[in-house]
Amino acid sequence: MSAAPLLSLQNLSTHYVSQHGSRVVRAVDDVTLDLHAGESLGIVGESGSGKTTLALAILRLLPPAARIVSGRMLFEGEDLLAKPDGDMRRVRGKRIAMVLQDPMASLNPLFSIGDQVGEPIRVHEGAGRASAWQRAIGLLKSVRIASPETRVRQYPHEMSGGMRQRIVGAIGISCGPRLLIADEPTTSLDLTIQAQYLELLRDLQRQRGLALIFITHNLGIVAKMCDRLAVMYAGRVVEQGPVAQLFNAPAHPYTRALLGSLPRMSDNRERLTAIEGQPPDLSSLPPGCAFAPRCPMAAPRCATQAPPAFVLGEDHSARCWLAAPVAAA
């Protein structure tokens, strides 16, 4: 891991500011993350934890009300925030691609599969329609769609849900990106179809040396697919590190509680350890640690002072006073 990271987020903050500036929602707050080539990172959080905003910020596709207020984003050594819009367009789809949750909404019902899979190739590489179609056939084959020669001529409504999701995947990898961001890629899929799709993504990653970011609320996907995990709560990455380490020895009480609250196949009818309370309101966060009101181990200082990220070992850090080295605590 000594090589420079593929993607490096440094103290990135993204806020939503309401029309008259009366409300500020800190959707992403002071996030620092590194992702190396070929690695897969899971970003886990509940709804409103800022995980989707973070993904959109990386692509600079934020809605108008959102602003990146501070921080840096380095991708292959280039500062994405310093790029003019035109250059950013050449990054999106070509070097960083994204697949979204809803495969039906991601495909245009009026264009054939071949046109849609071939579109990024035509846009980014200036290929002609015929040659883009030829490449589309190859891409469909690589996402394991049977008889791709006939499928390219068909339209989204003629495909099943699993096939559509794989076509969205094919569009994602069409220009050979270095990084693929998958936002809740399997929530609308059935279990056996989800398994097919995850296996496909993993194979693509191995064959093409893709780096993957999984945005999900499902720790199971992370357990199955990812090398590293970042847990988000109320806009902050509260803990990050290697997946095995976080699952075996979670340092942040939120991570621990999240893992403990999962029902397992093995423990039939045992009581789950639930997290009490409700997720926080992002526009009125407590001054200290956002998790403090729900934290079983909260100390007085947690309510007033937000903990910084403490380094716990190589590549493992947590924002919790419990993780503070003795000297600082």
**Residues of the shown chain interacting with another protein in the complex, contacts defined by CB under 8 A:** 18-24, 46-47, 160-163, 190-196, 199, 217-221, 223-224, 243-244, 247, 257-258, 260-276, 278-279, 281, 283-284
**CB 254 to another protein: min, Å:** 8
Residues 6+ apart with CB under 8 A from 307: 289, 319, 320, 321, 323, 324
Residue 155 or 247 with smaller CB distance to another protein: 247
Q: Which is nearer to another protein, 133 or 233 (CB)?
A: 233
Q: How far is the CB of 72 from another protein (least distance, A)?
A: 26
**Three-class secondary structure of residue 186 per DSSP:** coil
- What is the nearest approach in angstroms of another protein to the Cβ of residue 174? 23
Shortest reach from residue 230's CB to another protein, in Å: 15
Nearer to another protein, 26 or 178 (CB): 26
- For residue 217, count CB atoms less than 10 angstroms from its CB and return exposed for 0-12, middle for 13-18, buried for 19 or more: middle
Measured from the CB atom, the residue of 269 and 300 that comes closer to another protein is: 269
Burial (0-12, 13-18, 19+ Cβ within 10 Å), 152:
buried
Tell me whether residue 193 or residue 303 sits nearer to another protein (CB atom). Answer: 193
**Whole-number minimum distance, CB 209 to another protein, in Å?**
21
Give the residue with the Cβ less far from another protein, 2 or 266: 266
Distance CA 98, CA 107 (A): 13
Residue with tokens 């394991």: 144
- Which one-letter DSSP state was computed for residue 280? P
- At its nearest, how many Å lie between another protein and the CB of residue 193? 6
Q: DSSP labels for 6-71?
A: SEEEEEEEEEEE-TTS--EEEEEEEEEEEE-TT-EEEEE--TTSSHHHHHHHHHT---TTEEEEEE
Distances from the Cα of 145 to the Cα of 98, 159, 165, angstroms: 20, 10, 11
